[in-house]
Structure 1
Amino acid sequence: MAVYFLCPDSDHPTGGIKVIYRHVDILNHHGVTSRVLHQKKGFRCTWFENDTAIAYTRFPLGSLLSRARNKIRGTLDPDGIRTIPLAGRSSSEIGPSDILVIPETRGPDLADIGRGIPRVILNQNAFLTFKHFSFDTNNRKNPYADPTVRAVLVNSEHVEQYLHHAFPRLVTHRFYLSIDPKLFFPGAPKKKRICLSRIKNPVDALQVINILKFRGLLAHYEVVPFINIPQDRVAMIMRESLIFLSLGNREGFGLPAAEAMACGCAVVGYHGWGGREFFKSEFSYPVADGDIIGFARHVEEVIKR
């Protein structure tokens, strides 16, 4: 028996992908044979250090070869198990004695991946649950009701509440994200610096920064919008920054805001719903989504303290 975590073949820095790698590392550490499952042979994420165990599908899921194989099997045995061939030995495959973990981003097609194999859905962002679904009220294809989906793993209170409302009988299990204490910690001398993720809500970020600029508040401040840089570099920027702008929108959890807090930043901005459980006014500056004036006022308050 082995556990396979299907993962996008993307080397773009994405927290959810790192979580998949982390799950595999933890399971292997505790004696549960596990693999990240990529579809592009030889692919491995390089934006963070890892030596995570990886397996590769023999051909991409959804490819012509994959569809042809499933069609033939479906014709010969309509109720049969749709095993997933792996690269390597010809007999190597994911089968009914294994567990396949599939991300929520696959949408309704998730129901067709590895049909008959025990499956778990890894839902790290409730707002992506219905990605690729339709407005057709007669289309009842729903992987969350599939009997071979044993459970759903969730990363926040919000995701769990969302899924239980949509699917009241759903079995969910909460896991807790962690912050790497070797990277995200206070201690570096703070600079008059405001940092933010440039990929998160850039329209709102631009408004807030320019309001502060034209109110004369940034003359002695450096603004560092980072994007697509290694995690150790992000951590160093946060450790040296006085303020972190949280611009996450529709987040599953919103780990960067928590990492910035761990680095001693004054965190101002949106909790993105997923971060509501830790984004407390006692030690941060939560702002209602889209409240640009309130956002700018809170940052100004921190600057003037």
Structure 2
Amino acid sequence: MSRIAYILLNNAKATGGQKVILRHVEALVDLGFNAVCLADAGRPPPRWLEHRAPIVSSRELAADDILVIPDDGTPALGMAAQRPQRSVVLCQSSVIHLALGGLATLAEHAARLSTFISVGRRHSEILRRLFPAAAIETVPCFVDERVFQPGAKQFTGAFVPRKRPEEAQAIRLLGRLLHPATAELGWVRLENATEAQVAAAFASSSVHLSLSRRESFGLTTLEALASGCVCAGFTGIGGREYANADNGFWVEEEDCVAAADALAQAISLVRQGGPPLRRYVDAALATAQEWSYARFRQDLEAAWMRIAPEARR
């Protein structure tokens, strides 16, 4: 029986790419597919989130495996292009990261690397323009409703500064100076946090400062929406797929003054409470439900039944 083998790139930091790969394999196994993650021997698998995906050594790659390579794994893409067996490219990098990473290799070997799984509709549109002859499956990112839910809210804001540490500092300082009433908001800074810690912080926080940057989708901000946070800040481009005027206070990229103003609007809404806040939270939760785990499983199953039905037990 064919085996679906996702390459899990080693990265000491928590990344959305790791999460997507682990959840893909976990769900495929649950759906009856023969699927594993391949990781470098001697390096521990990610421990920042709970998962049930089987992880085996990359040395155990079999000749008939259907290899799934992340689009930022440039050496692995080059290796896959030389294999006679099928390979699938998991495309989840932002456009700029793709252009600076694996795009040249993909273009060089377009005849061999011609099957893609994309994590968003906008991403799929770009791939179709770049590779019109390729087979492109869209399996959107999802917010895991089993993990991310609203909780008892406190007057705090949560933020993840990893992609925009300078902007995080500037926006909060500008906010205090331009809108002094916002200074009372407490802050929860999330760095090197586990998925469970992020979920707990979002569940109890009223506000989320979105610091998305160069995203293919922007999963962290969607998780904040699912947790009932009032979101303000950047979409990171990829977040435009779900961001709208009803579910957040969004600003143009790099505009920290506008972000400070948007943050003040979010805090004011939380202070006001009542029906205006309820309408916002309802819109945020409705947005998150469009990217549910249940829908993800359906899309993943349908995609792989088209790509490799023989890999299902």
Question: TM-score when scaled to structure 2?
Answer: 0.79
CA distance in 1, matches of 2:128, 2:227: 34
Task: Please say if residues 116 and 135 of structure 2, whose CA atoms lie closer than 8 Å, have aligned partners that are also in contact.
Answer: yes
- Mapping for residues 169-184 of structure 1, pairs under 5 Å: 169-184=133-148
- Mapping for residues 13-28 of structure 1, pairs under 5 Å: 13-28=14-29
Counterpart in 1 of 2:84? 116
1:39-96 Cα shifts (integer Å, max 9, x gaps): 12363211111232112123xxxxxxxxxxxxxxxxxxxxxxxxxxx2xxxxxx421x
User: 1:283 Cα deviation (Å)?
Assistant: 1.6
Q: Structure 1 unaligned runs (5+)? A: 59-85, 87-92, 135-139
Counterpart in 2 of 1:31? 32
1:106-144 Cα shifts (integer Å, max 9, x gaps): 23761323622200000112322223469xxxxx75357
Q: Secondary structure at the match of 2:10?
A: coil
Counterpart in 2 of 1:103? 70
Q: Secondary structure at the match of 1:36?
A: strand
Task: Please say if residues 144 and 167 of structure 1, whose CA atoms lie closer than 8 Å, have aligned partners that are also in contact.
Answer: no
Which has more radius of gyration?
1
Counterpart in 1 of 2:221? 257
Letter in 2 for 1:274: G
Letter in 2 for 1:28: V
User: 1:211 Cα deviation (Å)?
Assistant: 0.7
Letter in 2 for 1:120: V
Q: Secondary structure at the match of 1:94?
A: coil
Distance 1:141 1:278, change over 3 A: closer
CA distance in 2, matches of 1:120, 1:141: 14
Q: Secondary structure at the match of 2:159?
A: strand
Q: Is 2:241 the partner of 1:286? A: no
Q: Is 2:175 the partner of 1:207? A: no
Distance 1:109 1:32, change over 3 A: closer
Choose the corresponding residue for 1:131, options 100, 110, 114. Answer: 100
Counterpart in 2 of 1:4? 5
Distance 1:103 1:143, change over 3 A: farther
Runs of 4+ off more than 4 Å: none
1:167-191 Cα shifts (integer Å, max 9, x gaps): 23222110022222232111x2221
Distance 1:212 1:173, change over 3 A: same
Distance 1:2 1:143, change over 3 A: farther
Distance 1:227 1:286, change over 3 A: same
CA distance in 1, matches of 2:113, 2:105: 13
Distance 1:33 1:210, change over 3 A: same
Task: Please say if residues 110 and 143 of structure 1, whose CA atoms lie closer than 8 Å, have aligned partners that are also in contact.
Answer: no
**Aligned length, in residue pairs:** 265
CA distance in 2, matches of 1:302, 1:295: 10
User: 1:269 Cα deviation (Å)?
Assistant: 1.2
Task: Please say if residues 155 and 205 of structure 2, whose CA atoms lie closer than 8 Å, have aligned partners that are also in contact.
Answer: yes
User: 1:5 Cα deviation (Å)?
Assistant: 0.3
Q: Secondary structure at the match of 2:244?
A: coil
Q: Structure 2 unaligned runs (5+)? A: 270-313
Q: Which moved more, 1:247-256 or 1:188-197?
A: 188-197
Counterpart in 2 of 1:82? none
Letter in 2 for 1:14: T
Q: Secondary structure at the match of 1:194?
A: strand
Counterpart in 2 of 1:235? 199
Question: TM-score when scaled to structure 1?
Answer: 0.81
Q: Secondary structure at the match of 1:268?
A: strand
Distance 1:178 1:164, change over 3 A: same
Distance 1:33 1:143, change over 3 A: farther
Counterpart in 1 of 2:188? 224
CA distance in 1, matches of 2:176, 2:154: 18
User: Which structure shows the bigger proportion of residues in helix conformation?
Assistant: 2
- Mapping for residues 155-194 of structure 1, pairs under 5 Å: 155-186=119-150, 188-194=151-157
User: 1:247 Cα deviation (Å)?
Assistant: 1.1
RMSD: 2.0
User: 1:149 Cα deviation (Å)?
Assistant: 2.3
CA distance in 2, matches of 1:144, 1:23: 27
CA distance in 1, matches of 2:216, 2:44: 26
